[in-house]
């Protein structure tokens, strides 16, 4: 297992540069299904997660992202057999005049592999990108039809895929890609007279690597949980290195470093040990301190995560005996 994690870490470091693709979260260890459909249904429970992130506090129009995701296992499917998982993700991301919206459905087929379980997943998404009516072109749009002169909106559909291997409460490794099959966003905006302007956006394929390990520290109630997370569009790459420490299955805290971008503090609580009525409810918080050239202009980034898992109780099987002797 250590060799697997070291190999994944070496690949991620070899890809590292500084950039950001798609939207991002610092608590990426709790955000697997939205970027890797192979992870759907691995918790053997229905799990829902809500994220809110305010990036680069202090900037007008800075990125603001909200995401809801849920996934569940399906142990039996007619005609197919095996173990399966399904997932749903909805997110909205705002950046200045621009708004992005996505709705995504995921499916995974899971089977035992060695000491763990391998999930093979696909997802399909509806993706909309728009500029609101307050959009102001910084360049002279009359000289370039590729610059929209007012608000615009269009959508496309895309497909993603992923592999996810995990040993419960021990190890996980995932490889995935979003926008594997995707159309570009292209629409025309009517200007004054007969002039038309274009709103074009090329949707890039992205690749993700994730890995994490849980190690119980002997003779203590502490658990060490290091992880890595890398994403790339084959032109630029971003790498997150994380390490959390869990105490008594109750509180966790840790540090995260996003190469050439930010360092973060992570805190969280699992309410199960202290409040049985809130069993399986987790609350996480992250605060990023910007380390790039933006540090003189930003107060950092803030992120909140809420996670809840539950199982639907099975109805007891009732056996009914009927006999013609008794009416």
Q: What is the DSSP letter of 295?
A: G
Range with the poorest average pLDDT among 10-24, 54-68, 229-243, 248-262 = 10-24
Residue 18 has pLDDT above 70, yes or no: no
For 164-204, write each residue's pLDDT tens digit: 999 998 999 999 999 998 778 777 665 555 556 666 778 88
Give 199-204 contacts, CB < 8 A, sequence gap 24+. Answer: 199/131, 199/148, 199/152, 199/154, 200/146, 201/129, 201/154, 203/127, 203/156, 203/158, 203/179, 204/21, 204/179, 204/233, 204/235
Residue 16 has pLDDT above 70, yes or no: no
The arithmetic mean of pLDDT across residues 229-248, rounded, is 92
Higher-confidence position of 315 and 233: 233
Which residues face 68 on adjacent strands?
50, 90
The arithmetic mean of pLDDT across residues 214-227, rounded, is 94
Please tell me the predicted confidence (pLDDT) of residue 317: 63
Please tell me the predicted confidence (pLDDT) of residue 274: 79
Give the three-state DSSP class for 276. helix
Please tell me the predicted confidence (pLDDT) of residue 182: 79
Higher-confidence position of 35 and 20: 35
Higher-confidence position of 295 and 9: 295
Instruction: Indicate the pLDDT class of residue 314, thresholds 50, 70 and 90.
Output: low
CA distance 267 to 271: 13
Task: Please say whether the structural domain 2-310 has been given the CATH code 2.60.40.
Answer: no
Q: Mean pLDDT, the chain, as a whole number?
A: 83
For 139-156, write each residue's pLDDT tens digit: 666 666 566 666 778 888
Please tell me the predicted confidence (pLDDT) of residue 204: 86
Q: Dihedral, CA atoms, 290, 293, 294, 300, nearest 10 degrees?
A: 10
Residue 15 has pLDDT above 90, yes or no: no
Instruction: Indicate the pLDDT class of residue 234, thresholds 50, 70 and 90.
Output: confident
CA distance 226 to 2: 12
Instruction: Indicate the pLDDT class of residue 106, thresholds 50, 70 and 90.
Output: very high
Instruction: Indicate the pLDDT class of residue 251, thresholds 50, 70 and 90.
Output: very high
Q: Dihedral, CA atoms, 151, 24, 41, 304, nearest 10 degrees?
A: -100
Please tell me the predicted confidence (pLDDT) of residue 2: 46
For 57-105, write each residue's pLDDT tens digit: 887 778 899 999 999 998 766 656 678 999 999 999 998 888 899 999 9
């Amino acid at each position: 297992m250590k060799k697997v994690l070291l190999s994944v870490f070496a690949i991620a470091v070899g890809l590292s540069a500084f950039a950001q693709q798609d939207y991002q979260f610092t608590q990426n260890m709790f955000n697997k299904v939205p970027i890797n459909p192979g992870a759907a249904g691995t918790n053997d429970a229905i799990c829902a997660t809500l994220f809110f992130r305010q990036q680069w506090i202090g900037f007008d129009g800075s990125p603001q992202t909200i995401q809801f995701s849920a996934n569940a296992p399906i142990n039996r499917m007619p005609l197919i057999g095996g173990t399966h998982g399904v997932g749903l993700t909805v997110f909205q991301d705002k950046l200045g005049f621009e708004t992005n919206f996505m709705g995504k459905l995921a499916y995974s087929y899971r089977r035992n592999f060695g000491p763990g379980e391998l999930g093979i997943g696909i997802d399909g998404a509806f993706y909309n990108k728009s500029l609101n009516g307050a959009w102001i072109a910084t360049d002279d749009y009359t000289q370039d039809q590729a610059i929209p002169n007012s608000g615009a909106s269009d959508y496309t559909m895309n497909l993603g895929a992923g592999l996810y291997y995990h040993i419960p409460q021990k190890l996980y490794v995932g490889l995935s890609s979003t926008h594997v099959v995707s159309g570009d966003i292209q629409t025309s905006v009517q200007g004054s007279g007969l002039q038309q302007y274009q709103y074009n956006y090329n949707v890039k394929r992205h690749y993700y690597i994730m890995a994490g390990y849980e190690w119980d520290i002997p003779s203590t109630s502490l658990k060490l949980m290091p992880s890595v997370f890398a994403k790339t569009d084959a032109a630029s790459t971003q790498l997150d290195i994380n390490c959390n420490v869990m105490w008594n299955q109750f509180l966790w805290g840790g540090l995260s470093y996003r190469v050439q971008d930010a360092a973060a503090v992570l805190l969280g609580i699992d309410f199960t040990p202290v409040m049985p009525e809130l069993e399986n409810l987790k609350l996480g918080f992250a605060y990023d301190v910007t380390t790039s050239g933006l540090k003189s202009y930003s107060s950092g980034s803030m992120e909140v995560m809420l996670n809840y898992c539950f199982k639907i109780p099975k109805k007891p099987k009732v056996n009914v005996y009927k006999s013609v002797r008794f009416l």
